[in-house]
Amino acid sequence: MCRSSVDTLAVSCGVAVPSGMGTDTTPTSAERRLPPIVRAPVPVLLDTSSTAAPTSLRAPVLADLLPAAVVRLATTQHGLLTSSQLAMCGVSVAVAKRRVLTGRWRRPTRGVYDVASSSPLQLRPDARHRRAAALALLAFGGRATAVGFSALACHGVWGLPVHSPEVTCGSARSDRDGLRCREVSLTRSPVQVGAFRCAHPVDALAQALPRCSPRTALGMLDSALHRQVVTEEEVAEVRALLVGRRGAAGLAVVWALVDGRRESPLESWAYYDLDAAGLRPTDIQVRIVDASGVLVARGDIGFRLPDGSWLIVELNGREYHGVAVRDDTRRNAVVATERARVLDYWAEHLGVGGTMVRQVRDVLDRAGAWSAPVSERRRAG
């Protein structure tokens, strides 16, 4: 917690600031906007999601008579508070321990309390990764900086694999409770993401990618581009940083496939599976128009068939598309044009030997051929 946060909470709660508390003197924009503290008269569940962050992205915080400013702070920290932050507003260690014993709060690691009203398992994968990164940063405190996968989670990159939260602290620290403190070198200055300090996305990608399969790496790179975490020029910088690093050689196949137009890791993984099976698509985000030339829909992945029609592969999933139901109205509109055939798949259908690849191969074999990828035709021209 930065010094200004400590000062703000201390004044609001009417307590003295212990000497040496906090090191960063730069207030965040969120801290500058904090209204005066008021205490909730009774324990109340605050829906802190707001329009800026759906509930699946940010867990509601159980107020439990905490000052409103502390509830807001917990919200920015994904429902987590340190014992020192609680102490600043008069919540003693004994009270915190009692709430853990009664099940109202959880203590995921020494000195950090989870005051969220829901389990982390109820969050979407990207939100769980961000919460895990916040836990590591709060646990190690001081000048801890999120690195690797944890930094990418804070930056908003989707499609990360399961990983241990990881930070660097500027000095050797022992891992604890599944939280890693790594000694890493950074080529760029860390950046502030919300309440936390993180490695620059270029450094974070260079640290994480060598530990990924090519398929996972493609999903992460596509997501970083699509969500404007990095630019194409910065992707080239990442590739240059990886030259000679252990694990980097296995990513050679990935760089030619990276495309920020893909809107979810599911689309990236499906594209990788098709390409690995020798079925490189003609294009992605294919525009489907009706007889009048009016845009009906965009298809995730498309194969242009000899008769001029399209075989469209659509990916469905709650985690990255927001809903777990297929848009049948959109599908019917595409089929009605008689210009496309649509095949729908979920995550469980993917894989080089999965249902998607088998069915797409069957359709293409019957069609006899399909157009070369747009990128290859452009290079040939």
Map tokens 């020494």 to a residue: 110
Q: Report how far Cα 278 is from the mean position of its chain's Cα atoms.
A: 30
User: DSSP assignment, residue 233?
Assistant: H
Element (H, E) at 344: strand 340-345
Q: What is the DSSP string of 163-230?
A: ---EEE-SS----BTTBEE-----SS--EEETTEEE--HHHHHHHHGGGS-HHHHHHHHHHHHHTTSS
Mode of pairing for the β-strands spanning 61-62 and 180-181 = unpaired
**Per-residue model confidence (pLDDT) at position 54:** 39
Pull the structure tokens for residue 40: 């909730």
**Per-residue model confidence (pLDDT) at position 372:** 77
Q: Which residues of 321-350 are buried (b: 16+ CB within 10 A; e: fewer)?
A: beeeeeeeebbeebeebebbebbbbebebb
**Per-residue model confidence (pLDDT) at position 11:** 42
Contacts of 106 (CB under 8 A, 6+ apart): 100, 113, 114
pTM of the predicted model over 0.75: yes
The SS3 assignment for 24 reads coil
Pull the structure tokens for residue 304: 């242009």
Report mean pLDDT in 10-residue bins for the chain, 381 residues: 46 40 37 32 31 47 74 90 89 90 93 89 90 96 94 97 94 89 94 95 98 98 98 98 95 97 96 97 90 81 93 81 50 63 94 96 90 61 43
Residue in 26, 91, 94, 23 with CA at minimum distance from that of residue 62: 91
Q: Which residues of 26-45 are buried (b: 16+ CB within 10 A; e: fewer)?
A: ebbeebeebeebeeeeeeee
**Per-residue model confidence (pLDDT) at position 35:** 34
